Amino acid sequence: MTNTLESPSQIDQIIEKRFSPRKFTGTPISEEILGHIFNQAKWAASCFNEQPWRFYYAHQGSEGFDKIHQCLSEGNKPWTQNASVLIIASAKTRFARNNKENRHAWYDLGQSVATLALSAWEKGIGIHQMAGFDAAKAKELLKLEEDEDAVTAIAIGPFDETKEDRSRNSVSDFTKNIE
Ligand SMILES: Cc1cc2nc3c(=O)[nH]c(=O)nc-3n(C[C@H](O)[C@H](O)[C@H](O)COP(=O)(O)O)c2cc1C
């Protein structure tokens, strides 16, 4: 582990280069690669190590893929047709150990998806998260548990696209040294 900024590390480059592609090639992803990406997602931190993330996924050409696809907004439907895999990511909103509300479940899910995105990118696979989907319909169609909240849909796959104009706030816009 280094503590210098002399040259961008591999993780720096992955973080900076990652973007959300839309031009998926439709090339299938093996269960092995997908399993690897999910395995990396499991290492995310979570409140009380509850790991409240759940991923319902389906490969292109399957009934499950069509089920997820029909939950997407009209704007998201066309370009996701070529995704290799579609996911509905949900958060388990109650702690398994005491059934109390876990108000950090959504936060924890976001951390695992961010980890998944970086792991996928490292393998040349893009992920594109979507708020544009019908969460109630997904919950019903995919038979989510009562205490699960369908938070985001995700398209995954190899892609053929570059993206240069990645605008971001400057660090001073979102940080404050309170001394
Ligand atoms: C929670 C969430 C919801 C999003 N919803 C959509 C969506 O419904 N449709 C879409 O095309 N992009 C969606 N995006 C992608 C964002 O527009 C994208 O991440 C943002 O513009 C930054 O671009 P980048 O990921 O390429 O760096 C979503 C991203 C997140 C994290």
pLDDT tens digits for 35-73?
999 999 999 999 999 999 999 999 999 999 999 999 999
Residue-range definition of the domain harbouring residue 137: 29-161
Q: pLDDT value at position 2?
A: 64
Residue with tokens 């990652």, as numbered in its chain: 18
Taking all residues of the chain, what is their mean pLDDT, rounded to a whole number? 96
Q: How far apart are the CA of 35 and the centre of ligand 1, in A?
A: 23
For the segment 26-37, what is each residue's pLDDT rounded down to a tens digit?
A: 999 999 999 999
Strand-pair partners of 149:
91
The H-or-E segment that residue 85 falls in is strand 85-92
Token pair for 161: 């696209």
Here the CATH number for the domain that contains residue 145 is 3.40.109.10
Which residues touch 166 (CB under 8 Å, ≥6 apart)? Answer: 19
C-alpha of residue 8 to centroid of ligand 1, in Å:
25
Number of other residues whose CB lies within 10 A of the CB of residue 143 = 8
Determine the average pLDDT of the residues in 93-119.
Answer: 98
Mean pLDDT of 119-130: 98
Top mutation candidate among 15, 24, 107, 130 for ligand 1, by most atoms within 8 Å of CB: 130
Question: Cα(19) to centroid of ligand 1, in Å?
Answer: 9
Q: Determine, yes or no, domain membership for 177.
A: no
In a domain, 7, yes or no: no
User: Is the beta carbon of 19 within 6 A of some atom in ligand 1?
Assistant: yes
The answer to whether residue 4 sits within a structural domain is: no
Share of the chain above pLDDT 90, in %: 93
Domain count, the chain: 1
67 found inside a domain = yes
